[in-house]
Amino acid sequence: MIRLPSEPIVTKDGVFVLDMAAKIDATADYLCKAKWGEVEFPPPFGREAYPEEAYIADLDAKSGASLKLTLLNPRGRIWTMVAGGGASVVYSDTICDLGGVDELANYGEYSGAPSEQQTYDYAKTILSLMTREKHPDGKVLIIGGSIANFTNVAATFKGIVRAIRDYQGPLKEHEVMIFVRRGGPNYQEGLRVMGEVGKTTGIPIHVFGTETHMTAIVGMALGHRPIPNQPPVAAHTANFLLSSGSASTPSSSRTASFSETKPGSGASPAKKPKPGAPPERETSSSRTGVKATTLFSKHTKSIVWGMQTRAVQGMLDFDYVCSREEPSVAAMVYPFTGDHKQKFYWGHKEILVPVYKNMGDAMKKHPRVDVLISFASLRSAFDSTMETMQYPQIHTIAIIAEGIPEAQTRKIIKVADEKGVTIIGPATVGGIKPGCFKIGNTGGMLDNILASKLYRPGSVAYVSRSGGMSNELNNIISRTTDGVYEGVAIGGDRYPGSVFTDHVLRYQDTPGVKMIVMLGEIGGTEEYKICQGIKQGRITKPVVSWCIGTCATMFSSEVQFGHAGACANQASETAVAKNQALKEAGAFVPKSFDELGELIGSVYDDLVAKGVIVPAMEVPPPTVPMDYSWARELGLIRKPASFMTSICDERGQELIYAGMPITEVFKSEMGLGGTLGLLWFQRRLPRYACQFIEMCLMVTADHGPAVSGAHNTIVCARAGKDLISSLTSGLLTIGDRFGGALDAAAKQFSKAFDSGMLPMEFVNKMKKEGKLIMGIGHRVKSINNPDMRVQILKDFVKQNFPATQLLDYALDVEKITTSKKPNLILNVDGFIGVAFVDLLRTCGGFTRDEADEFVEIGALNGIFVLGRSMGFIGHYLDQKRLKQGLYRHPWDDISYVLPEHMSM
């Protein structure tokens, strides 16, 4: 947006701008960086920039999640760590409403499913800041949030718990009390670990779930309401999904409103669409295009743009629990693969959903589709949305991506208005119409769908900016009324594709909706159109409304809240001004968000008393099976694992070798030998042992091109084969005659030594049995022409090993064999074999049985395989570099012998 504070000068040569202030849209950086160059975005006017803010901004830039931090008063007593953009504003509002504005230390949020490690990094930054300076009254930390849609609450809370453990000393020293309230996927486990860390560390931590109003913990933290001794425990996920009742689908369930219209009330019943037919299009907005009043029905069919299998499965589970006859997802579009089918669950059975490479094919093959749910990235959402609007069958598009350049969003809105397409988003989680259809991850996991009774329609419709707060509205409305009829989150960007007015007017014209809830926020003036509609009589149904962001007028500097659009550019855009205007217009406006649920319940009860709403009998939803992976994560089932491993674990934030994080492996400078010690022997070996392993790899790396392994590798490489094929060809020659002497020598010498056999007895026994002594003998080297590889290793071993009993025994055997023939020396394979046995037995890391087991299972031969692989790869690269052609063995190097009967 460009503002011109002074008038431009117009001359015959053109227009000259003398003074200009430009507000740059940071989301367009990827488009305009070549023109802008490096732009440094300064902190808002009126406050300092802090290094911790820069650190969190850097974490945010490297993550797909959202991590925000603004320091307001580093000496403050009240600190927050809130999940969700809308929720973070609501918590700040409530703190200020309860008189905590001067003590509020920070504003921020974490959302978008950050990993455990990212949440840990965010949490430890907050804890570090709040434990730097003591407060005479102690401090409070509010870990709050609405009901998450897809963030694994347990994973994020485990990151916070790690940070609390790290800072438990300073937290107790600074007398910090922690209050927790959260809901969403796996939140029960998250609350459990949070409560557990309070017990083990002695830090007072009070934990609450969805049974407690979202901001109730603020009043507890500030001493305005009592802290329950034993808060009610919300039902576990398993209680919803593993019902003890009948698993059969109900014979009947409501398809219209959950409420019944009182006869003679004058309200016309909702028109039932014909199966498969798109909803009737009706004008419901002051905008140019003709848009549909009914966006979704039981017969709505959609296309999902993007390989979002989790979101699609959630939609199908919702369809099933709503007793829909057909899945709401007709197809998926994903340009990065070819056409194929993706497998999903429909209740207990598996179904296939087609995936198309391009939009045109999907539209042509699925003419009943009228909704697109776009999970395209912020960089591709514009192009894919513009393409979708070319197809007249589409009347609703939900754009999930956040951060689409505002100029592109305005172009999308213009085209959508011209074509009569309703846009939900950008930066939205979507919307939900209970009993009919839900967009993507809206409504959260199935346990929340069931807890909020979203499987059947109620009488209350809502519209919100925030996706996370829309889930909280589902919870509040389900606890205070007969439930939600429809809910839409228009998105937090500055220019949402559809605005409050569009949806409130749709609800006004929908007979099944008896009351409307609107959750606005600071920024923009759209709420004033609702005021105008109420005053003019266009909106006659009760509207309960609250605009979040009332705390902004109390701050000394500008704060950019979680949503891009949540920033007031003039007095009329403040939440306080809009709440006052809504109240004066006739909307029901609570004193604070804390009282929103009570007011919604009061308005609902009044409508019931007047007979406008007649609550209907509850209809139980069908039982939906739980996914195996989710059931296992919740600890509800167990099964034997197909594989077991004890050397490596890549599941966490950091790769672990035998219990040692990879960062520690590098810090310890244990080298390749030490790494092999971890992966092969599950031990951290002494430094000399690591060095010995590396020396063994060096001396076994190659032995020239004539040996069978190198020869095979070269022949294979010259036949035009790839590296892996050539290497495998060489490795397959390793056996008893080539390279297998390490294991065999270790076993033979160990058995003889352990049995008490004298070296001469051992030599005589092997001769009598006609067996070769493995590890003895060399084609070229002899006692008079020693192998320097063996000499180097021998010097190292004698100098560093605690004891060398088996090596000494082998050297005594060598004295006997070389006395008979000078080339019957202890060769490099034999030396490594016996020395390795000494290492395993004397380094202090293994029992005798463990040492013998490693020899028995072939660990020593692995040294030869690994070392020689380096040489084989070298030969392969050498042949390719020299551009050697196909190898064919010369005829004159082959003896062609006829079969014996032919020569006769």
Nearest by Cα to 27 from 483, 452, 405, 351: 405
CA–CA distance, 863 with 612 (Å, rounded to integer): 83
Sign, CA dihedral 79-84-85-88, equals: negative
Instruction: Report the run of H or E that residue 201 belongs to, with start and end.
Output: helix 187-201
Q: In whole angstroms, how far apart are CA 822 and each of 210, 779, 781, 808, 814?
A: 85, 11, 9, 19, 10
Given CA atoms 839, 842, 846, 852 in this order, what sign does their dihedral have? positive
Cα separation, 855 vs 852, in Å, equals: 5
CA 702 – CA 721 distance, rounded (Å): 21
Residue keyed to tokens 């997802």: 329
Residue count of the chain, please give it: 904
DSSP assignment, residue 83?
B
- In DSSP terms, 80 is beta-bridged to 142
Tokens of 722: 């790839």
Which residues on adjacent β-strands are paired with residue 205?
A: 178
Q: Which of 206, 395, 503, 563 is catalytic?
A: 563
Torsion of CA 258, 263, 269, 274, to 10 degrees: 80
Strand segments (E) across 234-307: 302-305
Closest CA to 255 of 314, 345, 325: 325
For 14, list phi and psi in degrees, rounded to 5.
140, -170
Collapsed DSSP state (helix, strand, coil) of residue 325: coil
| 431, two tokens | 């919307």
Q: How far apart are the first and last CA of the chain?
A: 103
Q: What are phi and psi of 65, to 5 degrees?
A: -85, 175
The answer for residues whose C-beta is within 8 angstroms of residue 689's C-beta and 6 or more apart is 673, 677, 839, 843
Q: How far apart are CA 752 and CA 307, in angstroms?
A: 63
Tell which residue, 596, 601, 602, has the closest CA to residue 93. 596
Q: Is the peptide bond preceding residue 705 cis, with omega within 30 degrees of 0? A: no
Residue 48 exposed, middle or buried by CB count within 10 Å (0-12, 13-18, 19+): exposed
Contact 741, 833 (CB under 8 A): yes
Whole-angstrom Cα distance, residue 375 to residue 371?
13
Under 8 Å CB-to-CB from 664, ≥6 apart: which residues? none
Active site residue 340: no
Sheet holding 78-80, edge to edge: 78-80, 139-143, 176-181, 205-208
- Which two structure tokens, joined as six digits, stand for 42? 């300064």
179: which 2 tokens?
A: 């209050």
The residues near 787 (Cβ < 8 Å, ≥ 6 apart) are: 778, 781, 825, 827, 828
- Phi and psi angles of residue 893, each rounded to the nearest 5 degrees, phi first: -105, 15
Angle between helices 153-166 and 187-201 (to 10 degrees): 10
Q: At what angle do helices 805-820 and 759-768 cross, to 10 degrees?
A: 60
What residue type is assigned to position 604 of the chain?
A: Y
For residue 867, the Cα-to-chain-centroid distance in whole angstroms is 39
Dump strand ranges (E) for 624-730: 648-649, 656-657, 660-661
Residue 409 CA to residue 396 CA, distance in Å, equals 15
Residues with catalytic function: 563
